[in-house]
Amino acid sequence: MPVTGSIPRAARIMDVLAEAPEGMALSEIVARSGFTKTTTFRVLAALTEVRFVEQDPLGRKYRLGRKLSDLARLSGRADIAALATHSCERLAELTADTVFLSVPEGPLSICVLRRTGAFPVRTLTLDQGDARPLGVGAGSLALYCAMDPARRHAACRFNRAWLAEYAMDEARLEAEVKAFRSRGYALNRGQVIEGTSAVAVPVFTRGGALVAALAIGAINARMSEERIREELLPALRGEAERLRGRLMDKEGAKNV
């Protein structure tokens, strides 16, 4: 069946380019796509304009552009946020406090979801889309502590100046790693905003890959050690395990 319409043609060109990550000459794209040279060039020009395709200025070969990687990354964030929405809503309803979902992205932690509970004094230290250096804030700290030493060191090296703005450095963060391993969760006592605290746990896939962190934040008066231990941690760990199961179900559905 012939491919017609600008979007199907663009999709066909990108499918062809996906077969050659190192790039492909115009003549080969024409041969593999089945389009005329004029149509192929026109589609490539349009895709290049929106950065879905890029052309090597020396070899003149075409390859998929970085914009697709950006979109894939954003799609991944939206995916985990969608899977975790019910968990965050349950936590916010149960605790009446503010719940955050954060994901790692290179040396950063990105807040991809926030839900607020009914308690009138809210802890809004992060909004959806906000970035922090790994290790700053409870969710970000949980992600940092769950990473291997090489990733932690690389993140600290990259974020050295940014971490200093929060009076943090690698030595202090590594001390937090030891505390995390001892108590089993990340704790932030006024590191970002004085008078507020937050507690967080990492979320893993069934295969052990780190994908996110769930955190609950509130004013200090609501974050006693007893409440953290008896109410907040069991709730966080329960939802982290539910999310882990949903991630496994999703991955299984992909392989069917």
Which residues have a Cβ under 8 Å from the Cβ of 129 and sit 6 or more positions away? Answer: 110, 111, 112
Q: Are 133 and 159 in contact (CB under 8 A)?
A: yes
Confidence tier at 66 by pLDDT (50, 70, 90): confident
CA 46-52-54 angle, 5° bins: 85
> Which structural domains are found in the chain, ordered by start?
6-64 (1.10.10.10), 70-255 (3.30.450.40)
% of the chain exceeding 90 in pLDDT:
66
Residue 134 backbone class (left: φ over 0; alpha: ψ -120 to 50; beta: rest): beta
- 254 pLDDT more than 70: no
pLDDT, residue 76, reads 65
What are 236's two structure tokens?
Answer: 């966080």
Query: How far is Cα 132 from Cα 67, in angstroms, rounded to an integer?
Result: 23
Confidence tier at 122 by pLDDT (50, 70, 90): confident
Exposure string of 53-74, with b = 16+ CB inside 10 Å and e = fewer, is: bbbeeeeebbbbbeebeeeeee
Tell me the pLDDT tens digit for each residue of 74-108: 666 778 888 999 999 999 999 999 999 999 988 99
Give the residue from 124, 88, 102 showing the smallest Cα distance to 196: 124
pLDDT, residue 255, reads 44
Query: How far is Cα 67 from Cα 74, in angstroms, rounded to an integer?
Result: 11
List alpha helices for 34-169, DSSP H: 37-49, 66-95, 138-146, 149-158, 160-164
pLDDT, residue 25, reads 93
